C-alpha cells in the first residue's frame, strides 16, 4: 500500500467517525486527526481570461477560398449540409507542415468521431486533396486552420457559448494551453495524434461516456447525439478538475466529495426550481465554512413580503423565530435571522464567492431530501448531512482536528472558518453521466438545457469567439427558502 492509499484509508476512517459527530446535538466528541497531506500544496492561481481579439464569424468563403462540403460520414448527425467555411479563431501564425504530419492530422480527423466530434467539421476531403498536391503554402494554411479548430473544440468544447444556457463557469484551459503552443508542440515532436489525445478531460466520467458512445449503434442517432452533447459538457470545464473537489450534477440531486478521482463521500441535494430560480452552472472555490450561520433576509422578503414590519410589531414572535430587526438612517428595515436549528441556512454554510450569491448550506426542511425530484430551492444547493460536510472541509481545508470542528459546530455560536487550502466546487448539468455508484445513467432534463446543445451538433461547427460564459442576466439567488 503506497503513501496516498494509506492516507486515503485514513481519510475514509475519519469521515466515518464524522458521520456520528456531525449531528445537531452531539454526545461525546471523539478525537481523530486527518492526514495532513491529503491535499496538494497551494499553487499559483490560474491566469486570468485572455482578452485577445478574435476573428468575426463568416458564412461566405474568403477571397481565394473554395467552399468544401463535408464528406459523408456515419458520425455526422447534422441536419444541414451547409459548407464549412471558417477562419482560425485566434490569429495564430500559419505553421509549416510536413506531409507526414498532415497525414497524421487527416487520420486523427477521420477517427475523431470516437471523441464525440464530427469529422466533417474539419474538412477532411480538402485536407486530403491538399496533401496530394504536396507540401507548401496551401497545405500549411489549411492544416494549420483545421488543426486549430480541432484543438479549440477538444480543449474548450464544440458547443457555441450562446447555446450553453446559464453557463457561468469560465474554463481556464485556453489560457493554460494556447492553440499556437499546442500546435507547435505537435509539429516539433511529430506527434499530432498524441497531442490530440492529451486534450481529453481526465475525469473518469468522460472516459465512461466515450466507451458508451463506442458501444452505441450508429442507428441510435438520438442516443448518440445525447452522449456527444454530454461529452462536450465535460470539455466546457477545466481539463483536470483537481486532486480534491466538490461536484454536484444538478439533475442527479447529488453532491460528491472527490479525492484523486475517487468519490469518498456523497450527499443528497435540493436544487433550484425551474425558471428564474434554476441553479446556474458554476466553477467556484470554497473560501470558508460558516458554522451556526446567520441569515440576512433579502429586501424582497423583508419589505416585499412585509417581514420587517411583522418582526418590529411582534417582538415575542420574532424572538421565538430567531429574527432581529434594525432600521438604518434611511428608514429601511433590515432583518437578520440568528443562529439556531430553525435558521433557514441550517447549521452550516459553505462560502464560495460568486456574483449569483449561490452557496451550499444546511436546511431545517430535511423532509425534502426524501423526495425523488428535489428541485425546491431558490437556486442555492441545500445539502444533506451538511454539518458533516462542513466539518470535513474544516479538517481538510483549515487543518482542524475532528474534535475541534465538532466543538465549533455544536457551540451554537456563529463561527467562520477560513480555508488555508481551497477547493474547487463545480455545479454541473449532465443528462447522461455516471451516478454516485459509478453506473452510467440518464437523468431528466430538469431545466430544458439539452435542446440548444443538441441542435448545435446538428449544424456545422461555428466559429469560436472570445466569449467565455453566458451573457444571460445574472440573477442574484440569495434566498435559501
Question: Cα–Cα distance between 374 and 353 in angstroms, integer?
Answer: 24
* Amino acid 10: pLDDT: 55
Q: Which long-range contacts (CB under 8 A, 24 or more apart) does 15-20 make?
A: 15/264, 15/265, 15/388, 15/392, 17/402, 18/388, 18/391, 18/392, 18/395, 18/402, 19/385, 19/388
Strands (E), 304-414: 323-327, 333-337, 348-351, 360-361, 375-377, 381-383
Instruction: Tell me the per-residue pLDDT of 7-44, one tens digit each, with 9 for 90 and over.
Output: 444 554 555 455 444 444 333 333 333 333 444 444 43
In which residue are the cell numbers 462560502 written?
351
* Amino acid 298: pLDDT: 85
- Domain holding 319, by residue range, is 300-336
**What residues form DSSP beta bridges with 290?**
349, 416
20 lies in some domain: no
Q: What angle do CA 358, 35, 282 make, to 5 degrees?
A: 20
311 lies in some domain: yes
What is the separation, in whole angstroms, between the first and last Cα of the chain? 46
173 lies in some domain: no
Cβ neighbour number for residue 72 with a 10 Å cutoff: 9
Q: How many domains does one find in the chain?
A: 1
Helix (H, G, I), strand (E, B) or coil at 375: strand
**What residues form DSSP beta bridges with 254?**
249, 268
* Amino acid 80: pLDDT: 54
Question: Cα–Cα distance between 3 and 473 in angstroms, integer?
Answer: 47
Q: Write the DSSP assignment of 56-100 as a string of letters.
A: PP-SSPPTT----PPPP-TT---S---------SS-PPP----HH
Q: Write the DSSP assignment of 169-198 as a string of letters.
A: ---THHHHS-HHHHHHHHHHTT-HHHHHHT
Report CA-CA distances (Å) from 306 to 21, 277, 313, 439. Answer: 39, 21, 11, 48
* 220 burial level (CB within 10 Å; 0-12, 13-18, 19+): exposed
477 lies in some domain: no
Closest CA to 282 of 335, 333, 246: 246
Q: Cell numbers of 52, please?
A: 485577445
In which residue are the cell numbers 471558417 written?
86
Report CA-CA distances (Å) from 136 to 101, 128, 129, 187, 268. Answer: 13, 14, 13, 15, 59
* Amino acid 331: pLDDT: 86
* Amino acid 329: pLDDT: 87
Residue 401: CB partners within 8 Å, gap ≥ 6? 31, 32, 33, 34, 395
* Amino acid 439: pLDDT: 97
Question: Cα–Cα distance between 351 and 348 in angstroms, integer?
Answer: 10
Instruction: Tell me the per-residue pLDDT of 298-321, one tens digit each, with 9 for 90 and over.
Output: 888 888 888 889 999 999 999 888
141 lies in some domain: no
329 lies in some domain: yes
Strands (E), 355-442: 360-361, 375-377, 381-383, 415-428, 432-434, 440-442
121 lies in some domain: no
Helix (H, G, I), strand (E, B) or coil at 419: strand
Question: Cα–Cα distance between 320 and 342 in angstroms, integer?
Answer: 10
- Residues with pLDDT less than 70, the chain: 1-76, 78-92, 478-479, 481
Question: Cα–Cα distance between 400 and 396 in angstroms, integer?
Answer: 7
Helix (H, G, I), strand (E, B) or coil at 426: strand
Amino acid at each position: 500500500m503506497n503513501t496516498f492509499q494509506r492516507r486515503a484509508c485514513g481519510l475514509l476512517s475519519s469521515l466515518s467517525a464524522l458521520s456520528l459527530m456531525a449531528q445537531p446535538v452531539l454526545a461525546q466528541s471523539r478525537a481523530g486527526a486527518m492526514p495532513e497531506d491529503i491535499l496538494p500544496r497551494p499553487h499559483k492561481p490560474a491566469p486570468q481570461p485572455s482578452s485577445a481579439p478574435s476573428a468575426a464569424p463568416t458564412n461566405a468563403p474568403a477571397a481565394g477560398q473554395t467552399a468544401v462540403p463535408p464528406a459523408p460520414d456515419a458520425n455526422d448527425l447534422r441536419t444541414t449540409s451547409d459548407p464549412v467555411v471558417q477562419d482560425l479563431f485566434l490569429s495564430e501564425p500559419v505553421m509549416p507542415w510536413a506531409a507526414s504530419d498532415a497525414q497524421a492530422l487527416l487520420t486523427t480527423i477521420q477517427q475523431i468521431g470516437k471523441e464525440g466530434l464530427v469529422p466533417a467539421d474539419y474538412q477532411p476531403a480538402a485536407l486530403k486533396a491538399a496533401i496530394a498536391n504536396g507540401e507548401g503554402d496551401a497545405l500549411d494554411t489549411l492544416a494549420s486552420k483545421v488543426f486549430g479548430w480541432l484543438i479549440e473544440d477538444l480543449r474548450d468544447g464544440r458547443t457555441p457559448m450562446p447555446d450553453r444556457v446559464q453557463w457561468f463557469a469560465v474554463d481556464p484551459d485556453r489560457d493554460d494551453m494556447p492553440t499556437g503552443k499546442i500546435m507547435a508542440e505537435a509539429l516539433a515532436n511529430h506527434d499530432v495524434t498524441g497531442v490530440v489525445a492529451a486534450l481529453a478531460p481526465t475525469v473518469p466520467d468522460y472516459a465512461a461516456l466515450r466507451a458508451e458512445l463506442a458501444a452505441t449503434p450508429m442507428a441510435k442517432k438520438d442516443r448518440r447525439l445525447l452522449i456527444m452533447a454530454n461529452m462536450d459538457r465535460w470539455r466546457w470545464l477545466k481539463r483536470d478538475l483537481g486532486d480534491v473537489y466538490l461536484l454536484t450534477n444538478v439533475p442527479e440531486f447529488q453532491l460528491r466529495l472527490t479525492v484523486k478521482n475517487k468519490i469518498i463521500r456523497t450527499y443528497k441535494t435540493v436544487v433550484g426550481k425551474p425558471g428564474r430560480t434554476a441553479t446556474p452552472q458554476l466553477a467556484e472555490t470554497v473560501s470558508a465554512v460558516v458554522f451556526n450561520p446567520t441569515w440576512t433576509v433579502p429586501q424582497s422578503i423583508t419589505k416585499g413580503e412585509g417581514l420587517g414590519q411583522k418582526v418590529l410589531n411582534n417582538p415575542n414572535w420574532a424572538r421565538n423565530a430567531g429574527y432581529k430587526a434594525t432600521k438604518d438612517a434611511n428608514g429601511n428595515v433590515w432583518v437578520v435571522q440568528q443562529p439556531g436549528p430553525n435558521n433557514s441556512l441550517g447549521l452550516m454554510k459553505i462560502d464560495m464567492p460568486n456574483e449569483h450569491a449561490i452557496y451550499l448550506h444546511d436546511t431545517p426542511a430535511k423532509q425534502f431530501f426524501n423526495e425523488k425530484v428535489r428541485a425546491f430551492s431558490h437556486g442555492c444547493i441545500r445539502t444533506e448531512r451538511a454539518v458533516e460536510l462542513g466539518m470535513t472541509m474544516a479538517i481538510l481545508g483549515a487543518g482542524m482536528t475532528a474534535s475541534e470542528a465538532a466543538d465549533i459546530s455544536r457551540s451554537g455560536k456563529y463561527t467562520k472558518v477560513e480555508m488555508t487550502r481551497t477547493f474547487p466546487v463545480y455545479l454541473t448539468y449532465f443528462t447522461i453521466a455516471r451516478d454516485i455508484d459509478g453506473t452510467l445513467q440518464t437523468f431528466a432534463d430538469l431545466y430544458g438545457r439539452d435542446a440548444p446543445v443538441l441542435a448545435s451538433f446538428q449544424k456545422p461547427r461555428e466559429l469560436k469567439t472570445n466569449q467565455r460564459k453566458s451573457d444571460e442576466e445574472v440573477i442574484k439567488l440569495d434566498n435559501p427558502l
